[in-house]
Amino acid sequence: MTASATGGVAAATAVEPFAPAPLGPLTLRNRVIKAATFEGLTRKHVVNDRLVEFHRVVAAGGVGMTTLAFCAVSPDGCATPNEIVIIPEMAPGLAHLAEAVHAEGAAVSAQLGHAGAVAAATGHRGVSPSPVFSPLAMRRTRQIGVDQIVRVVDDFARSARLVADAGFDAVEVHMGHGYLLSEFLSPSLNKRTDEWGGSLENRARFPLEVVRAVRSAVGDGVAVLVKLNMADGVPGGLWLDESVAVARMLEADGAAHALELTAGSSLQNPMYLFRGEAPMAEMARTMPKLIRPAFRLVGARFLKSYPFEEAYLLPYARQFRAAVGLPLVLLGGINRLDTVRLALDEGFDFVAMGRALLREPDLLRRWQEGATGESLCVHCNKCMATIYRGTRCVLVED
Angle at 70 between CA 65 and CA 72, to 5 degrees: 130
Cβ contacts of 58 within 8 Å, gap of 6 or more: 34, 66, 106, 357, 361
Asked if residue 337 is part of any domain, the answer here is yes
Residue 341, Cα to own-chain centre: how many angstroms? 22
Q: What is the pLDDT of residues 273-316, one digit of tens each?
A: 999 998 877 877 777 666 666 666 666 777 888 999 999 999 99
Please tell me which of 135-139, 167-171, 376-380 the model is most confident about, judged by mean pLDDT: 167-171
Domain of 150, CATH number, reads: 3.20.20.70
Provide the mean pLDDT of the chain.
Answer: 91
| Number of domains within the chain | 1
Average pLDDT of 144-167? 98
Asked if residue 133 is part of any domain, the answer here is yes
Asked if residue 395 is part of any domain, the answer here is no
CB neighbourhood size of 291 (10 A):
12
Integer CA distances (angstroms), 124 to 116, 137, 158, 180, 289, in order: 10, 9, 22, 14, 21
Identity of the residue numbered 79: A
Question: Helix or strand or coil: residue 10?
Answer: strand
Residue 154 parent element (H or E): helix 146-165
- Residues designated catalytic: 179
pLDDT value for 9: 44
Angle separating helix axes 205-218 and 146-165, nearest 10 degrees: 30
Asked if residue 396 is part of any domain, the answer here is no
Q: Of 115-124, 251-260, 284-293, where does mean pLDDT reach its minimum?
A: 284-293
Average pLDDT of 352-380? 94
Cβ contacts of 95 within 8 Å, gap of 6 or more: 166, 167
192 within 8 A of 129, measured Cβ to Cβ: yes
Domain hosting residue 345, numbered range: 2-386
